[in-house]
Amino acid sequence: MKYPWIDEYLLSKHGVTKDLQAEWNWIRYHIGGKMFAAILLDENDQPYYINLKLEPMESELMRQQYPDIIPGYYSNKQHWNSVKPDGAIPDDLLKHWLDRSYELVLKGFPKQKQREILGLSVCGTDCSACPLHGSVCTGCNEACGKVFHADGKACPIYACCDNKHRFTNCASCDRVPCEVWQATRDPSMTDEQFRKSIEDRVSALKSCRGEK
């Protein structure tokens, strides 16, 4: 196969699990229990197709433009596509399609569930990494932003992102990191710690969108 990076690339995405469907000999990649990509293996365990999902219109356009992407083998042919693993699709284009497939399946879940799958709060924080998580605090997603230090109100970032804009997270907003982020600075942080916290959260949010 021309794309030796594919397994690592898919597993680097938030919330992705994989299994082997032994009967079909497909390596399947799931998010929230739903498949978004698969590597189809022949009797010698060599890939013969990579299956991924695209919007029907995009599928149609891509199939016209590139002979190495065809209607999904053993799949819904409107939504699924099969890419030949030894064809001429450039790496960057295949990565883009895999990102699109991941996003399409992720967006099929309610917002709260998407955040749960991603393991990130609206601002890109991984609350499970906090020592207070599970004792003093249930985490931002579970508390709908009303975390233990927010005086019974939703954190301003949560209120803006979810309650006002109805975004899954701030990755959908072109103002990130905005003045609301600046205003919610933990006063115990040094300038350097706060700068790093913003950098880490923005980076986590970008990785949800397939940007590195």
> With respect to ligand SF4, which residue has the nearer C-beta, 28 or 146?
146
**Contacting range for ligand SF4; rule: CB under 6 A; set: 33-41, 71-79, 102-110, 159-167:** 159-167
Cα-based angle 157, 161, 166 (whole degrees, multiple of 5): 160
* Contacting ligand SF4 within 173-212 (CB under 6 A): 173, 175-176, 178, 180, 184
Interface pattern 109-148 for ligand SF4 (x via CB under 6 A): ------------xxx-x--------------x----x-x-
* Cβ atoms 95, 89 nearer than 8 A: no
| Residue 137, φ and ψ in degrees, nearest 5 | -130, 140
For the beta sheet containing 34-41, the strands, ordered from the edge strand earlier in sequence to the opposite edge, are 16-21, 26-31, 34-41, 47-53, 80-83, 69-71
Based on the shown chain and the rule CB under 6 A, indicate whether residue 157 belongs to the binding site for ligand SF4: yes
Residue from the set 89, 160, 204, 208 that interacts with ligand SF4 by CB under 6 A: 160
Using CA atoms in the order 132, 137, 138, 140, what is the torsion angle rounded to 10 degrees? -100
What is the binding site for ligand SF4 (CB under 6 A)?
Answer: 121-123, 125, 140, 145, 147, 155, 157-158, 160-161, 165, 167, 170, 173, 175-176, 178, 180, 184
